[in-house]
Structures are given as structure tokens and as C-alpha cells.
Amino acid sequence: MLMCAFFGVAATTAAVAPATAEPDPCPDVEVIFARGTGEPAGIGVVGQAFVGALAAKLGVRTLNSDAVNYPADFDFLAADVGADDAAARIVAMSSRCQDTKLVLGGYSQGAAVIDMLANVGPLGQKIGGIGSAPPLAAPFADKVSAVAVFGNPADRFGTPLSTTGAFAGRAIDLCNAADPICSQQGDTMKAHEEYQFAPSDQVAADFVAARL
């Protein structure tokens, strides 16, 4: 029942511009974001809300958003495609734009993509073998300034990114108490579909901005 619910994420609208084309010269900050299940290509509504909130806190600093390229469909096993894509982007940006601050983010299945980079099992040890992408190599993991994930299924198994894996201490892992995807006490999918609204977007943006 949980897995069926996880794959049925509803899309809503957000009044934030979609991911922009890569600017030249290098931006001061780049957010690499993985959308949730069922959302169209791009950073998704939660990513848009988060990027918009973060941009408002950066003053004159420039910000680019890059959408992780992966299916985001009902085949959760394909989340490792997203982890590989995000890792490639991190490597490329670290080499080409050495002064750019890199931020990772993801919502729902997209959060599981980021879990893989952190060497955290996206669905815990009880459902082993899901997600075969290797973790991000240490030199590149160190290039990530901050991480923000929303409705992360790893939370349900006691391994939030805030305290677990390669990004512990520089990650915020937002989980609504009633969200059954990330909370063992969760009982309504509506709670899983509200991360694009305040306070989630603002809390995440405040956390990340303080680390840039």
C-alpha cells in the first residue's frame, strides 16, 4: 500500500519560473534538483518553490537550477539513473565552475536519488538492493555546500540525510508528520503533496542560504 501511494504523487502548480538554461559565466550558486514521481521533466513544483525561495535570499548572487534527468516514473529501480545524472553534473560543474556553490535537492523519489549519492539506502536495509548507483566519490561530495530533500522515503527507515551518509550536517530532510512516505506515523497522502508551500520551502531555503 505504501509503495503504491509513493508512486502516486499528485502534481500542482507553483508560480515560479521553470529551470533556466545554463548561464555563462558560471553562476554563484547552482541547485541540482530531482523531481518527484509523475512530474513532467524539469525540477518539479517543489523544486520550483524551493529555488524561488532560495533566490530571494541570495541578494545579488546569481542562481541556476539544473533538473536531474531521470524517468521519475513508477519504476523506482530507475532512480539510479537520476543518481548517475546528478553525479555527472556535479563532476562537470566542479571542474568547469570551481567557485560555484553546489546545492542538491530532491522531492519524494527525487529525494531517494539524492540518498543514493550520499550512500544511504533509499528504502532502508529491509528492502535491499533497490538503487544500484554508486555513491558520489568523496572529492566531489565535498564540493556540495548544502542539501535539501522533501518527503524522503529514507526517513521512514530511520536514515534521514540530515544525520546519515555523506551529507550529514549539511542537509535538511523535511518530512511532514502525517506524510506516510517519510513518517511511520503518517496516514494521509495530502501531507506528502504540500512541500511546495510555506513553511517547507522557506525552512529549506533558510537552511541552505546559511551555508552558502
Distance from C-alpha of 9 to C-alpha of 3, rounded to nearest angstrom:
11
Contacts of 200 (CB under 8 A, 6+ apart): 46, 49, 150, 174, 176, 194
Is 28 marked active-site? no
Task: Round to whole Å and give the CA distance between 34 and 46.
Answer: 10
183 as an active site residue: the answer is no
Distance CA 99, CA 120 (A): 27
For 83, the enclosing helix (H) or strand (E) is helix 79-96
| CA atoms of 95 and 55, how far apart (whole Å) | 24
Does residue 95 carry a catalytic annotation? no
Residue from 85, 115, 179, 201 carrying the catalytic annotation: 179
Chain length of the chain: 212
Q: Of 108, 115, 155, 201, which is the active-site residue?
A: 108
Nearest to 123 by CA among 1, 3, 36: 3
From the candidates 80, 192, 200, 201, which is the catalytic residue?
192
- H/E run at residue 104: strand 101-107
Phi, psi of 102 (to 5 degrees): -100, 135
Give the residue numbers annotated as catalytic, written as ranges.
108, 179, 192
